């Protein structure tokens, strides 16, 4: 089990570390992460599901300026995500991969700072960043316009994604995009997805599950037309209630009733057991 003392010894002994994975090291306190900034040669760092907080990340941004990959997914102790993102991205202009999954207090301000500071970004995960509002800031359009090398993009459960945002993705990322997650976006339509698939010929995976404005028939049509892309689409079709069912002819043989499956709900990210 990694503790504050273990991490400090690692930092003191292995000062030339370039890659460090501390994912789910829940025994390290927020204060225990503050010395991380002394690993100034870090290129790859995962703090996924840890208790890292603002002070340690500001110290990291001050001292570590060569990061290429940073994972802050499910770091629920971060209080001011926008300021953290602004500081880290400004200090690490060569950042290629940034995971902010479930960073609930990230807003359009933070997304605009990513757009401003990260022209070399290849992967960005904003899934379940429910504080991000596409309008009126047009932050997502600004993001894909300025970070036009993105290959993997997750906008899962950002309810404000609009067809105009998807059109901007199609226009700006048509030469690079290979993986796009739009799960749970209520405003996107079959028309903008059709245009996206038409333009992004390198797109290998697209998730449009639980997008209520796209019917299962439209999704099946897209899958048939654009077979270069693996399109994920999970959609519940409610079965008619007994009161609305057609009357049964008593002369016909009786069949067993259809199995009533529960609706497929859009599941939220699993909450941390200890907060």
Domain check: are 41 and 147 in the same one? no
Chain segment 53-98, per-residue pLDDT in tens? 999 999 999 999 999 999 999 999 999 999 999 999 999 999 999 9
Q: What is the pLDDT of residue 259?
A: 47
How many structural domains comprise the chain?
2
Domain check: are 54 and 102 in the same one? no
Give me the domain span that covers residue 57: 1-69
Domain check: are 27 and 132 in the same one? no
Sequence-distant contacts of 134-141: CB under 8 A, at least 24 apart = 134/108, 134/158, 134/160, 134/161, 134/162, 134/165, 135/160, 135/162, 137/108, 137/109, 137/111, 137/112, 139/108, 139/111, 139/112, 139/115, 140/111, 140/165, 140/168, 141/165, 141/168
Domain check: are 65 and 157 in the same one? no
**Is residue 269 one of the residues assigned to a domain?**
no
Domain check: are 23 and 88 in the same one? no
Domain check: are 134 and 228 in the same one? yes
**Is residue 246 one of the residues assigned to a domain?**
no
Q: Which of 9, 42, 69 is the last residue of a domain?
A: 69
Chain segment 95-118, per-residue pLDDT in tens? 999 999 999 999 999 999 999 999
| Helices and strands: H and E segment counts in the chain | 8, 9
Chain segment 210-265, per-residue pLDDT in tens? 999 999 999 999 999 999 999 999 876 554 554 444 555 556 555 554 444 444 45
**Is residue 266 one of the residues assigned to a domain?**
no
Domain check: are 191 and 100 in the same one? yes
pTM for this model (two decimals): 0.86
Domain check: are 103 and 212 in the same one? yes
Domain check: are 177 and 103 in the same one? yes
**Is residue 256 one of the residues assigned to a domain?**
no
**Is residue 263 one of the residues assigned to a domain?**
no
For residues 71 and 48, give the distance between their C-alpha atoms in angstroms, rounded to a whole number. 6
Q: What CATH code is carried by the domain that includes residue 23? A: 3.80.10.10
């Amino acid at each position: 089990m990694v503790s504050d003392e273990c991490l400090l010894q690692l930092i003191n002994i292995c000062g030339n570390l370039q890659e460090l994975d501390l994912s789910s090291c829940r025994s390290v306190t927020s204060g225990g992460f503050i010395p991380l900034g002394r690993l100034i040669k870090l290129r790859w760092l995962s703090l996924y599901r840890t208790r890292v907080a603002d002070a340690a990340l500001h110290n990291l941004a001050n001292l570590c300026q060569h990061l290429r990959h940073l994972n802050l997914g499910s770091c629920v102790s971060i209080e001011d995500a926008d300021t953290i993102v602004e500081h880290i991205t400004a200090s690490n202009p060569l950042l290629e991969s940034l995971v902010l999954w479930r960073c609930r207090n990230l807003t359009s301000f933070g997304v605009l700072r990513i757009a401003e500071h990260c022209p070399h970004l290849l992967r960005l995960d904003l899934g379940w960043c429910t504080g991000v509002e596409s309008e009126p800031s047009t932050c997502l359009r600004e993001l894909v316009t300025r970070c036009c090398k993105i290959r993997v993009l997750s906008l899962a459960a950002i309810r404000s994604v609009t067809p105009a945002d998807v059109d901007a993705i199609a226009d700006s990322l048509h030469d690079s995009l290979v993986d796009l997650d739009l799960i749970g976006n209520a405003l996107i339509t079959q028309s903008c997805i059709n245009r996206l698939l038409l333009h992004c010929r390198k797109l290998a995976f697209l998730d449009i599950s639980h997008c209520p404005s796209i019917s299962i028939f439209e999704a099946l049509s897209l899958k048939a037309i654009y077979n270069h892309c693996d399109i994920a689409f999970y959609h519940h079709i409610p079965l008619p209630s007994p009161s609305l069912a057609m009357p049964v002819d008593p002369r016909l043989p009786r069949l067993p009733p259809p199995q009533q499956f529960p609706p497929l709900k859009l599941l939220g990210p699993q909450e941390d057991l200890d907060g």
